[in-house]
Amino acid sequence: MDSAFFFTYFLQFVISGITIGSIYAMVAVGFNIIYNVTEIINFAQGEFVMLGGLIMVIFYNKLDLPILIAFLMTVIVVAMIGLLIDQIVIKSIKQPTVLTLIIGTIATSILLKGAAMFIWGKNPYDLPAFSGREAINFFGAVIQPQALWVIGILVVVVGLLSFFFEKSIIGKAMRACSDNQDAALLVGISVKRMILLSFALSAAIGAVAGVIVTPIALMEYDRGAMLAVKGFAALILGGLGSFPGAVIGGLLLGLIEALVAGYISSGYKDAFALAVLLILLFVRPHGILGNPTVAKFKKF
């Protein structure tokens, strides 16, 4: 194999790794939003992505709405589903501990999957790519234009969220809720409203992810669980709570998978990804960008 040929292959694997990694990163970002306010991991996060893709199919493919309006309405509908999950599932758990709440989100994800199968059936759906499907040639490798959309939107979303949670007082008030609920109430923060907001926001981010990845990866009713597991791994890799960490974790995970699938065998990609995750947890339990000082004061 001559070296130019080798390089083209390598580049192609890297490009597909970054694309798939961006999707994991979007899921990890959604996890972070709810985690920052409640310290719970919402395992229905992958379901928001699935619902985003499939609801967009209704608005765009079936109802023929203009793409921007269909996109917007999808995000609103999924955000409302996020609100309902908070109101119906999270609020009605009698003794809310981190563990019971997480179990509640797992149950929710199973329910949503069942409902989706009922509505959309088992077939995968496609959406048109935003800027067509004509591949861009990049040093011999090819990039789908939609991949650029995915990466661009990821960068914008992460930038905005990092700013919101690190710099704005509402963002900090949201983080204060996970730290100490009583103290948050006593300074006048409506903890309930902040939790509600976090569910709506992360559902909206999940919907955005679903709409932008469906043209690349298709979407079907049972995709949520796999996305949640991968997004969770990305989150732990990057460091719970950190938005730049979610991106780095997601990209790293995507790259490992793509390179292992390309050079070894796609059968081993999950095993390698998890092995890297384990090794990282041994040497850096708080993740790549997690703050070890802060991690000490968290429940997990």
Partner 1 sequence: MLSIEGLCAYYGDLEVLNNVSLTLKQGQIVSIIGANGAGKSSFLKCISGLISKKTGRVIFEGNSITNFSANSIVKKGISHVLEGRQLFNHLDVIDNLNLGAYLFFKRGNSGLISQRRDEVFDLFPILKERSRQIAGTLSGGEQQMLAIGRAIMSTPKLLLLDEPSLGLAPLIVSNIFSIIENLNQKGTTILLVEQNANLALGISDFSYVFESGRIKLQGTGQELLGNEDVKKAYLGH
Site residues, partner 1 (CB under 8 A): 169, 172-173, 175-176, 179-180, 182-191, 293-294, 296-298
- Minimum CB separation of residue 283 from partner 1 in Å reads 22
- 105 burial (CB, 10 Å; 0-12 / 13-18 / 19+) is buried
Question: For tokens 């292959």, what's the residue?
Answer: 9
- Complex with partner 1: residue 2 or 182, whichever CB lies closer: 182
Q: Where does residue 267 fall: left (phi above 0), alpha (psi -120 to 50 degrees), or beta otherwise? A: alpha
- Complex with partner 1: residue 93 or 170, whichever CB lies closer: 170
Q: 10 Å Cβ neighbour count for 283?
A: 6
- Complex with partner 1: residue 179 or 222, whichever CB lies closer: 179
- Minimum CB separation of residue 234 from partner 1 in Å reads 22
- Minimum CB separation of residue 173 from partner 1 in Å reads 6
Integer Cα distance of 234 and 247 in angstroms? 8
Integer Cα distance of 220 and 189 in angstroms? 39
- Minimum CB separation of residue 169 from partner 1 in Å reads 5
Integer Cα distance of 257 and 20 in angstroms? 9
- Complex with partner 1: residue 13 or 165, whichever CB lies closer: 165
- Complex with partner 1: residue 148 or 295, whichever CB lies closer: 295
- Minimum CB separation of residue 296 from partner 1 in Å reads 7
Q: Which residues contact 90 (CB under 8 A, 6 or more apart)?
A: 96, 101, 104, 195, 199
